[in-house]
Amino acid sequence: MSDNDSISEESIETDSTEMYIEVTILLILCIGAILGNSCMWFIICRSRDLRTVTNAFILGLTTADLLVSLLNMPVTIATIVNGSWPLSDTLCVFFGYVNMLTLVSSVLSLCNISINRYVMVCRPIYYKRIYTRRKAALMMTLCVSLSACLSFPPLVGWAEYGFISVQSFCFCKWEQSLSYAFFMIGCCFGGPFTVMSICNFKIFRTVRASKRRVQAANELTTTQISTVVSDGYSVSSDKPTIGKRASVIQRMSNIQREELSHIEEVTIEVSSQSIPKDKSSQTKNGKSKQLETMKQKSSKKLQCGKTRAEEVRLAVALGIVVLVFVICWFPYCISMMLSIFAPNVIPRGFHMTTLLVGYANSGINPIIYGVMNKKFGDGFKRIFCCLCQKIRRESTST
């Protein structure tokens, strides 16, 4: 740790204009990330419907983002304003470890979420067996434990944590140990992103195939509809008929009924001559209950379809979260490689920009959830409306 003896003496080479820009951007990112991720916690914990296994994994990712916005960003702001590391060398090592821990935890949480969504969308029959509350808690514990273990080696001599002046924060000095740098690239980027890419590709393929089956179902309902009327007589109609209305149950053996969530109710006009008179009269004696029972079963299946559609939309939203994470942190990976193989060549502005883009990811995730998921969006609206009402009451009282 000899290089850490002069941490506080390492100054940041920046002019006042650059400093004001960096501080302003960081303040906006910090406040936005704190508000957004705090609201995510409030919405999930407050709503019983949102206390699911998947949302527990989302809370794990949200916690990592909160740590970034509550610890890492404010210290980075203070460092930029001070012009050098303002705290002790020991605290620099501590914050370096926290920075690494939150980054690795975010990556592994996204990997966890991607696998969860893959099982839900592509292997739904195994979902409840795999993702019990106990097993989910174990997965989250393993995620945090593995993150802590992967971040630990620099504390015992395999690389080291120190002050990175070109990015105004404490992190791993990658050039001190190429073996650890490539180890982390493989464990925290290569491996997890390969898993996430495969999971999200298969989710995308399944969703696309599902949409095609729904389109095929729409075409079938216009040409071949089989209905069960009163005591079980089936009337097949390829042409418009007139007469009494009867609710129908589609017989589509090759199409999953839960995918027809957009079909609210289907009716068909059935000619009274199509049903034997001696049988049709029996509907007045109570046999029409069979039709009502079938209608209720159909409604339940359609409701399951709506639930599945919500799960698919959430899977798409989480796929976007993964994509945005890669976009935000990939420039930092480039900066990391340049710091190893081309030190003191790239200007500070580039390295600092990559860090700011990475920090921005902590505030973007709540926006994605709010836009892509109706339940989260409604939760954000309720919080915003409550705040507006409180402000109005305080303004009128004064």
pLDDT in tens, 89-123: 999 999 999 999 999 999 999 899 889 989 988 88
pLDDT of 271 reads: 44
pLDDT above 70: residue 85: yes
Decide which of 70 and 208 is more confident.
70
- Beta-strand runs (E) in 65-214: 161-164, 169-172
Q: Which of 101-115, 225-239, 306-320 has the lowest mean pLDDT?
A: 225-239
pLDDT of 311 reads: 65
pLDDT above 50: residue 275: no
Distances (CA, A) of 107 to 41, 93, 267, 320, 322: 19, 21, 50, 14, 9
- Closest by CA position to 383, among listed 44, 39, 62, 51: 39
pLDDT above 60: residue 266: no
Decide which of 175 and 316 is more confident.
175
pLDDT above 60: residue 182: yes
The contacts of residue 367 (CB under 8 Å, 6+ apart) are: 36
pLDDT of 217 reads: 67
pLDDT above 90: residue 29: yes
Q: What does the longest C-alpha to C-alpha distance in the chain come to?
A: 100
Decide which of 289 and 24 is more confident.
24
Domains observed in the chain: 2-212+312-397 (1.20.1070.10), 227-303 (no CATH)
